[in-house]
Amino acid sequence: MASAMMEALMALCQEKHIDELYLLDRLEQSLAQSYASLMHLDWGARVTIDRMTGKIYVYKLVPIDDSMDEEGNYTEFEEIDVTPKDTSRIAAQHAKAEINAIVRNAAREQIYEEFSQRIGDIITGTVLQSTPDFTIVKIREGVEAELPHFDRKRHPEERNERPNGERYTHNMRLKAVIIDVRDPNAQISQPVRGEHSRPSIVISRTHPELIRRLFELEVPEIYDGVVEIRSIAREAGARSKVAVSSLDDRLDPVGACVGPKGSRVRTVVSELRGERVDVVLWSDDPARCVANALSPAKVTRVVIDEETNYATVVVPDDQLSLAIGKEGQNARLAARLTGMHIDIKNESLAAGMFPKTPAPVEEAEDLVGEESTHRCEFVSPSGVQCRNMARPGSRYCGVHEKMALVDSAEVSDDPDSLI
């Protein structure tokens, strides 16, 4: 009986690619804990399995009096044979449990070794099962991933990687990006709830990296490195902004991403289930970059305070709501895209505030790249000189020239003047 069990164990080890000695050691440890509990052994037990015959021996551990250390713990034990007559039934139960655990852990280790190096990559999978808390996606045969969408109010420690409004059905194909692979051997203080029954690969549909990977699939210029995605700001399920630049001056990066008649960006939007995607031109000039980020709104001028990373933007009165966006969405995404704090004002409000504002204002003409012979001579009460270029034939830029007219009590006849 015992030899037959050993032959079955060895055959199973070869089939599942498990180390035979490792399996036997695990069985001995598991059986020792069980027999110590069943036989009420105060000092535990030691179990050995004959590697040739498969016979199981159980030894009771009895401490030796002279082996007590300074802390009062025994270091040496005498082993007394207390092997029960029938050990095959208990051994078979433990062998089944240990083999299942080892096979499951081995599969997780293989998945971890393969996919831990692919964090940030995009995968295409098929929905196997969707629960209120997470969705199981099949990547390939034997490899599954989890797309969590837990209620953060009930489970604040869990993730929610599903965009608002998306629902998944059985056999639906979707693309997602890998954001985490759980290490089966990691020692963590707070284990993931239900981790042993959940896939170790975690994917996301809300991560900004998903948009980058989708554009790499659809735009050959991005994949080749000619067009570079410099920044991404996203509110998953609603709207995203992507800032791009080109290494080739002859290539329009925005046009390359949009594609003929919008075909390329339309494919990305379709994969994102209708999420709006704005592609804007990146610029190393902060003022121009902020103006582009607020697209489709038109910007009159931009004030940049590099010390506080603050940008004040002036837009026409009829463009204010467009620049701010619904519930501030456009301005919020522009701020994330550029990494700056953005304050948007209309021209009517700016007309009364700019004379009191020490921060310099850049005219819209400066965004286009026009050059003047010297800087504006205006100096704020705090001693900061305006950084804008003076208008041709004047000592001041466009804004401070109007301020000089106010100080001299002269009223401009120009109906378009802010004053």
- At 143-182, the pLDDT tens digits run 899 999 998 888 888 889 999 889 999 999 999 999 999 8
pLDDT of residue 201 exceeding 70? yes
Cβ pair 192, 133 in contact under 8 A: no
Of residues 404 and 302, which shows the higher confidence score? 302
pLDDT > 80? residue 138: yes
Instruction: Check if the beta carbon of residue 285 is closer than 8 Å to that of residue 299.
Output: no
Q: List, in order, residues 6 or more apart from 237 with CB less than 8 Å away.
A: 163, 164, 165, 166, 206, 273, 275
**pLDDT band at residue 352 using 50, 70 and 90 as cut-offs:** low
Question: What is the layout of strands, in order, in the sheet containing 301-305?
Answer: 301-305, 310-315, 341-346
Element (H, E) at 245: strand 239-246
Please give the residue that has the higher pLDDT: either 300 or 366: 300
**pLDDT in the model for residue 371:** 42
* Predicted pLDDT at 111: 87
pLDDT band at 244 (very low <50, low <70, confident <90, very high): very high
**Phi, psi dihedrals of residue 122, rounded to the nearest 5°:** -95, 145
Q: How far is Cα of residue 417 from the mean position of the Cα atoms in its chain?
A: 48
- Cβ 49 vs Cβ 27: under 8 Å: yes
Q: What is the pLDDT of residue 335?
A: 94
Q: Work out the burial of residue 383: count CB atoms within 10 Å of its CB; fewer than 13 is exposed, 13-18 middle, 19 or more buried.
A: exposed
> According to CATH, where is 3.30.300.20 located in the chain?
285-419
Residue intervals of the chain classified under CATH 2.40.50.140 are 119-184+199-206
Residue range(s) of every CATH 3.30.1480.10 domain in the chain = 2-113
CA distance 114 to 98: 24
Q: Is the pLDDT of residue 307 over 80?
A: yes
Q: Tell me if 203 sits within 8 A of 123, measured CB to CB.
A: yes
Q: Can you name the CATH fold of 119-184+199-206?
A: OB fold (Dihydrolipoamide Acetyltransferase, E2P) (2.40.50)
CA dist., res. 210 & res. 221, Å (int): 17
- 155-169, 296-310, 341-355: least confident range: 341-355
- The fold of the 2-113 domain, in CATH, is N Utilization Substance Protein A; Chain:P; domain 4 (3.30.1480)
pLDDT greater than 60 at residue 27: yes
**CATH architecture designation of domain 285-419:** 2-Layer Sandwich (3.30)
Q: Is the pLDDT of residue 102 over 70?
A: yes
pLDDT reported for residue 297: 92
